Chain A
Amino acid sequence: MSYKERSIWVSLAITIYIWFNYFSTIYHSVQSQNLTISIMQSALLSVVIMTVVLEILHHIVIAIIDNKNANYDEDERDKKIALLGANNAYYILSFTTIVAVVHLLFPFMSHHIEALINLPNEYVIINIIIIGALIAEISKFATQVFYYRKGF
């Protein structure tokens, strides 16, 4: 497994772990009907801090384990695979934008969601964007791993 592929696997795991924590916090707050803006803010702050800390740790650990390739520059194949991943992520982000706009323009279509999570509309939109961005990010990593394994 190449340095780049290993790095992508770790980033994928970190992304899933961090956002699983975020959504489980939100889900449990919704279940116990105490989801507030401050809980969401602190959950988002934890995501930012954990992402920065874990990504720094990830690069330090991988550089120690595979120190020969620590200064590895992407070659043309890495760049093409990164582009394929970004391409898929773009489609999902575009779809997310449409969903967020539809939610804003036609709020009656998602009344039941707002009634369920009891948050101001802008926080519902934030979560729609977060879910879309998360799926896009996971799709980007998954596409890259797929092409590293399968070739193209």
Chain B
Amino acid sequence: MSKKITNNIRRLRFNNDEMTQQMLADVVGVSRQTIVAIEKDKYSPSLEVAFKIAEFFQEPLDTVFQYK
């Protein structure tokens, strides 16, 4: 079975005062639809966006994104 990139962004948003997708999108500089696609594992973001998301939630990258 091939590996894929998954993430915990939805949970992290929820734990971050139920932050909206639009707010996160504005912080990392992408569209809300891109955040939706990332959360649904339909799009793997660039390293830059991945680091921005992890930095925003103050979590290590491998806590936000997993490759399994």
Contacts and interface: CB of A to CB of B under 8 A. Distances in A.
Contact of A2 (B29, B31, B43): B31
Interface in A31-81: 72, 75-78
Contact of B42 (A4, A75, A152): A152
A75 B30 contact: yes
B43 A75 contact: no
B34 A77 contact: yes
Contact of B43 (A3, A4, A5, A151): A151
A76 B28 CA distance: 11
Contacts of A150: 42
Q: Which has the most chain A C-beta neighbours within 10 Å: B32, B43, B45?
A: B43
Secondary structure call for the B interface: loop
8 contacts: A2-B31, A75-B31, A76-B48, A77-B30, A77-B31, A78-B34, A151-B37, A152-B42
B31 A152 contact: no
Which of the four size classes fits the interface of chain A?
10 to 19
B33 interface: yes
Contacts of B29: 75
Contacts of A76: 30, 34, 45-46, 48-49
Contacts of B30: 75-77
Contact of A151 (B31, B42, B46): B42
B40 interface: yes
Contact of B37 (A3, A4, A72, A77): A77
B44 to A, nearest CB: 8
Contacts of A5: 33
A44 B24 CA distance: 47
A117 to B, nearest CB: 45
A152 B34 CA distance: 12
A70 to B, nearest CB: 13
B27 to A, nearest CB: 13
Question: What 10 pairs across the A-B complex have the smallest Cβ distances?
Answer: A151-B42, A2-B33, A75-B30, A77-B34, A75-B31, A76-B46, A151-B37, A151-B43, A75-B34, A77-B43
